[in-house]
Structure 1
Amino acid sequence: MTKEHPDNTARLRLRRLTLDDADLMLGVWNDPAFIRYVGDRGIRTVVQAHEAMLEGPMMLYETYGYGPYRIALRDSDTPIGICGIFRRDGLDEPDIGFSTLPEYCGNGFAYEAACAVIEYARKDLGLSVLNAIVSPDNAASIGLIRKLGLSFERMYEWPDSGEQVAIYAMQLTV
């Protein structure tokens, strides 16, 4: 049986999101950097967060067996962000995504969580390719994506918005 989430790391706990994580998701979705580089989802209330979580993470878990995972500090269980595997309409391969709350940026938490997610994708989920989708002007995320071992593959235009994003990729199988 496949594990439901990546292994914990030295400093972090990772698990599937639940509706009890609505406050964390409100923080993620309303972080100015998230709004700038990913988009404003217009989610401002716990009720809206619950609806978005049912249509997003919970649907991913049900459909694919993976999705975003709650990242929390291992010692205190304080939630600090999300990292996980997503599926996007119009794209064939799953992609890794991450977002840490602003007060936890710059401590290597996103890298640590992403390494655990990549290992989970490879060993437990048996994925052969993992992409990352990033705004071409998001230098911090591009730096992390490259550090994780993904390489630039191509530019992609979202059909609904016309926005250009960069797609990075890595092979997970030898």
Structure 2
Amino acid sequence: MSTYTEAVQVQSDFTITTPRLHISYFVPSNPIHTTFLAHLWNTPEYIASSGKTSITDSASAQKFIENRVVPHYYFRRYGMMLVSLKPHVDAFLVESTPIGTVSLWQGAPPDCYSVPDIGFCILPEHQRQGYATEAAKALIEHAQLEWGVLGVFGFCFPGNEPSRKTLEKIGLEFRGVRKLRVFGNDENMVFTLPGMAEDLGVYGVEP
């Protein structure tokens, strides 16, 4: 039987490419990955929108990736992915710059719905360049074609216009505001891929 560590070893070279980006699995043993996640989740902009987390340094980021992110890959194949600018050659050095994350996340019952939701987070200095849209579109397309994902939700708090605009650019459709149990019954704007059932109760979403 495969272990989570073996799964990551197999997946560490996995990449989805777009014109400007590549999307890969987080590898807990890679210090670039752990240091980047700690940095991203401690920017003032991230804390203002999502709150402070327990990820304060590379060591805590490594534990989070090992305990939460990798098991999700193992069971779902998708999860939280690292978004990097495509490598460029500077003299004899090939560099790849991490700039954010994109995720398809589906929790464990009962704290989940029957299809995953899309999420994204880009460093402030790389925002407003379309990277979140580019990465999310590519991940959803790959998930549909390769992993059999038939539906995708998008959630964001009312008033979060940047996230709403990105979800709409990805191609998701607004389906109203609902109190969602997976977010502590807080109100969220709900978006879905076109073609998903009109009755969101089919997916376990509260009326």
**Which of 34, 58, 82 is the aligned partner of 2:70?**
58
- Determine if contact 2:40/2:46 at 8 Å carries over to the other structure: yes
Residue 149 of structure 1: aligned partner: 171
CA distance in 1, matches of 2:19, 2:144: 20
Q: Please give the secondary structure, in 1, of the residue aligned with 2:22.
A: strand
Q: Deviations over 1:75-98 (max 9, x none)?
A: 231110111211132322201111
Residue 168 of structure 1: aligned partner: 191
Q: How many residues are aligned here?
A: 171
- Determine if contact 2:41/2:55 at 8 Å carries over to the other structure: yes
Q: Please say if 1:14 is aligned against 2:23.
A: yes
Residue 97 of structure 2: aligned partner: 78
**Structure 2: runs of 5 or more not aligned:** 1-10, 89-94, 197-207
Instruction: Give the superposition deviation at 1:6.
Output: 5.6
- Determine if contact 1:27/1:101 at 8 Å carries over to the other structure: no
Q: Please give the secondary structure, in 1, of the residue aligned with 2:51.
A: coil
Q: Deviations over 1:36-70 (max 9, x none)?
A: 32232132122211121122211210111111111
**Which of 105, 113, 120 is the aligned partner of 2:127?**
105
CA distance in 1, matches of 2:189, 2:179: 6
**Change in 2 beyond 3 A, CA 1:159/1:15:** closer
Residue 58 of structure 2: aligned partner: 46
Greater shift, 84-93 or 137-146, is seen at 84-93
Root-mean-square deviation over aligned CA pairs:
2.2
**Change in 2 beyond 3 A, CA 1:52/1:161:** same
**Which of 37, 44, 48 is the aligned partner of 1:25?**
37
Q: Please give the secondary structure, in 1, of the residue aligned with 2:193.
A: strand
Residue 130 of structure 1: aligned partner: 152
**Change in 2 beyond 3 A, CA 1:123/1:55:** same
- Paired amino acid for 1:9: T
CA distance in 1, matches of 2:69, 2:76: 10
- Return the TM-score normalized by structure 1: 0.87
CA distance in 1, matches of 2:100, 2:183: 27
Greater shift, 19-28 or 139-148, is seen at 19-28
State the structure with bigger RCO (CA 8 A, min sep 6), 1 or 2. Answer: 1
CA distance in 1, matches of 2:26, 2:68: 11
CA distance in 1, matches of 2:156, 2:85: 25
